[in-house]
Amino acid sequence: MIRAAVLPAVGSPLEITGIELPEPGPGQVRVRLAAAGVCHSDLSLSNGTMRVPVPAVLGHEGAGTVVSVGEGVTHVAPGDGVVLNWAPSCGSCHPCSLGEVWLCVNALAGAANVHARTEDGTELHPGLNVGAFAEETVVAADCVLPLPDGIPLTDAALLGCAVLTGWGAVHHSARVREGETVAVFGVGGVGLATLQAARIAGASTIVAVDVSPEKEALARAAGATEYVVASETTAKEIRKLTGGQGVDVAVECVGRAVTIRTAWESTRRGGRTTVVGIGGKDQQVTFHALELFHWGRTLAGCVYGNSNPAVDLPVLAEHIRAGRFDLGSLVTERITLDGIPGAFDNMLAGKGGRALVIFP
């Protein structure tokens, strides 16, 4: 038996309890977790904003060490450090055939599988494929990526979601060019990664926006040159900081209608607005036809940073080894499994960056 954070039903509190994992079958890998990040998507799964089969072991951002492998697994071996990939591409669906692996229609097929059982025999599913809120997990082989050399195993957990998402939002979705101006809405784990990515891309002015004044130091350490506390005048403040034009690129990391609309209004004529945050169906954003024509802005969604983890991880690893990207600075709290509910509360309150579950 191992300990895990289980969501018994949508809207129910997480239960830290013992579960029984099977040994890895053909094409599977068993991983002992070193760390797992607490992402806003986990909160969205628990409250029903995103739907997955339940009861489930939550957690999708993690890294650890291979314990054992099933038949046919050759790209990793026991003792190897690995990063979990919660959205593996099938390679055969239409988006995959176009090279858009982040849109793979089969990426979350594994979430319907029986992953483990509780002590009383209740079947559990793996939240977003990997069930990382547990001391160990068993996943499909394509859900593990070899850990790049020189990357600390615990910090590497952040590569599994926050960093790939923020990096990709800047370099793949918005395609920020050197000298451009950028605004990042939401200074959580993904927002902090986005700020670092914008700095690495060579953005000139980088404006961080958040409801919390206390996050200014975090934002500036990540690369923000300006900090704006969110209000009804945020768009005006950003235009003032950019010569009256608005930023070339706005990246929304919150998933709220009002924030998406403000990000749009903060973007210059002809600029790009990228939405990373995951909002509920009740978050309706409206535009009128004339403004769409007049402003000529691009509004785009962004899934997993529009990233290909197998390609992007080595690139990120080089920036990390060179000291250009600081993984540890995203983490504002290191907790145990029992601290996850409190981390959810902090996210709802807009406090801190990334909480990282550290396993003994």
| pLDDT attached to residue 82 | 98
Give the CA-trace dihedral at 86, 172, 279, 232, to 10 degrees: 150
| pLDDT attached to residue 23 | 95
| pLDDT attached to residue 69 | 98
Phi, psi dihedral angles at 122 (to 5 degrees): -65, 130
The amino acid sitting at 267 is T
Low-confidence ranges of the chain (pLDDT < 70): none
Tokens of 55: 């009861």
Respond yes or no on whether the N-terminal peptide bond of residue 55 is cis (omega within 30° of 0): yes
Contact 11, 48 (CB under 8 A): yes
59-83 per-position pLDDT tens digit: 999 999 999 999 999 999 999 999 9
CA–CA dist 186, 201 (Å, integer): 19
CA-closest candidate to residue 191, choices 281, 275, 271, 130 = 275
Strand 267-275: give its sheet, edge to edge.
Answer: 226-229, 206-210, 182-185, 247-252, 267-275, 298-301
3-state SS of the chain? CEEEEEECCCCCCCEEEEEECCCCCCCEEEEEEEEEEECHHHHHHHHCCCCCCCCEECCCEEEEEEEEECCCCCCCCCCCEEEECCCCCCCCCHHHHCCCHHHCCCCCHHHHCCCEEECCCCEEEEHHHCCCCECEEEEEHHHEEECCCCCCCCHHHHHHCHHHHHHHHHHHHCCCCCCCCEEEECCCHHHHHHHHHHHHHCCCCEEEEECCHHHHHHHHHHCCCEEEECCCCHHHHHHHHCCCCCEEEEEECCCCHHHHHHHHHCEEEEEEEEECCCCCCCCCCCCCHHHHHHHCCEEEECCHHHCCHHHHHHHHHHHHHCCCCCCHHHEEEEECHHHHHHHHHHHHCCCCCEEEEECC
33-48 per-position pLDDT tens digit: 999 999 989 999 998 8
Q: What distances in angstroms separate CA 324 from CA 250, 315, 341, one per listed residue?
A: 22, 12, 32
94-114 per-position pLDDT tens digit: 999 999 999 999 999 999 999
Phi, psi dihedral angles at 11 (to 5 degrees): 90, -5
Q: Chain-wide mean pLDDT for the chain?
A: 96
